[in-house]
A and B are shown apart, each in its own frame.
Chain A
Amino acid sequence: EDQVTQSPEALRLQEGESSSLNCSYTVSGLRGLFWYRQDPGKGPEFLFTLYSAGEEKEKERLKATLTKKESFLHITAPKPEDSATYLCAVHSGGSNYKLTFGKGTLLTVNP
């Protein structure tokens, strides 16, 4: 059974203080790892897809990286508007097209 574990559960940063969120996964054949951002009362917003170990993708202050066991979401010089819950999900070879999600990391960036 696919498993996704995100850490920490919550992270509080000062504006400009860079950090990383972790997503550890166990799957039977990774076909894709996804990062989403979710604001309160809204649906998840797609950020990145990573397909193979060593791959990296960037968007503004966010950079996602992937190894064979985990993914990191690096946040550089965050701003208060980056405050949200960040979700990690995997699509494995044995699950058709469904995604298995972690519980998320609640990020708060204080001004």
Chain B
Amino acid sequence: GAGVSQSPSNKVTEKGKDVELRCDPISGHTALYWYRQRLGQGLEFLIYFQGNSAPDKSGLPSDRFSAERTGESVSTLTIQRTQQEDSAVYLCASSQGLGTNEQYFGPGTRLTVT
């Protein structure tokens, strides 16, 4: 079946602009996660959605970052007033959401802030 998809695959933006990244999870997966992967670093947790529960936003690095999810489908990660340190690959993952479940990742969006 279809895996996790993300768009755009690449995004180049100027410092100070806002960007929106999109994630389509695997159908039927109730849990959705956003991670950030900086060059030479491990994946860094950003935010977690589970069904209709309040999201876990504990990993968001600043109030310039926000994310939304519509029901158990598409999610968007928004970065306002982008800074050069926001340059990274943003990865989305989904899982069945019960207990300890494997997370399946999308291909990522490579964000470059110039």
Contact = CB atoms under 8 A, between A and B. Distances in A.
A103 B105 contact: no
Contacts of B1: none
Given A96-B48, A97-B31, A98-B45, A43 B107 contact: yes
Given A32-B100, A44-B91, A49-B100, A98 B105 contact: no
B105 A44 contact: yes
Contacts of B42: 4, 87, 100-104
Q: By CB atoms of chain A within 10 A, which of B43, B56, B91, B104 has the most?
A: B43
B43 A89 contact: yes
B108 interface: yes
Contacts of A96: 48, 56
A24 to B, nearest CB: 13
A32 B98 CA distance: 13
B33 interface: yes
B100 to A, nearest CB: 4
B16 interface: no
A45 interface: yes
B103 interface: yes
B25 interface: no
A31 interface: yes
A49 B102 contact: yes
A97 B108 contact: no
A89 B44 CA distance: 11
Interface of B: 4, 31, 33, 35, 40-45, 48, 50, 56, 58-59, 91, 93, 95, 97, 100-108
Given A46-B104, A98-B58, A102-B42, 20 more contacts: A34-B103, A41-B107, A43-B105, A44-B105, A45-B105, A91-B100, A96-B56, A97-B31, A97-B97, A97-B100, A98-B48, A99-B33, A99-B45, A99-B103, A100-B42, A101-B43, A101-B44, A103-B41, A103-B42, A104-B42
